[in-house]
A and B are shown apart, each in its own frame.
Chain A
Amino acid sequence: MAGDRDGRVSQFRKGALELAILALLDAGELYGVEIVEGLAARPGLEASAGTVYPLLGRLGKSGVVETTWRESPVGPPRKYYRLSRAGRTELAEMAASWRGLSAALDALLEEVDRRA
Chain B
Amino acid sequence: MPETIATYLAAVREELSGLPERERAEALRELESLLRDDAARRGEAAAIEAVGDPATYAASVREAVSGPADGSAVPQGRILGMPYDFRGASAERVGERIWNPADPRIFTPRLFGVGWTINFGAVAVKIGLIRPDDSGDEAFRRIPPKAVALAMAVPALFALATVVLVATAWTGLPAEVPVHWGVSGAPDDWAPKATAVGFLLAVTVLPVAVAYARVLRRGTPARTRVLAAAVLGLLSSLGAAIAAITVADARGAGHGNWMVLVILGAVAVSFLVLYLPVRAGMRAEWRDSLAAPGEES
Contact = CB atoms under 8 A, between A and B. Distances in A.
Nearest to A78: B131
B257 interface: no
A79 B134 contact: yes
A50 B103 contact: yes
B286 A76 contact: yes
Contacts of A39: none
Interface of B: 67-68, 72, 101-105, 130-134, 136-137, 282, 285-286, 289-290, 293-294, 296-297
Nearest to B67: A7
A50 B131 contact: no
B290 A69 contact: yes
Given A7-B67, A54-B72, A77 B133 contact: no
Contacts of B102: 50, 53-54, 56-57
Contacts of A78: 131
A15 B67 CA distance: 13
Q: Classify chain A's interface size.
A: 20 to 34
Nearest to B138: A67
A31 to B, nearest CB: 8
B297 A50 contact: no
A70 interface: yes
Contact of B103 (A54, A56, A67, A70): A54
Contacts of A61: 137
A60 B136 contact: yes
Chain B interface main SS type: loop
12 contacts: A11-B68, A32-B133, A54-B102, A54-B103, A66-B296, A67-B296, A68-B293, A69-B286, A76-B134, A77-B290, A79-B133, A84-B297
A68 B72 contact: no
Interface string A33-65: 100000000000000111001101100110000
A25 to B, nearest CB: 14
B126 to A, nearest CB: 12
A111 interface: no
B133 A56 contact: yes
A24 B185 CA distance: 56
A68 B289 contact: yes
A50 B105 contact: yes
Nearest to A48: B104
Given A7-B67, A33-B131, A53-B133, 11 more contacts: A32-B131, A32-B132, A53-B132, A54-B72, A54-B103, A61-B137, A68-B296, A69-B286, A76-B134, A76-B286, A79-B134
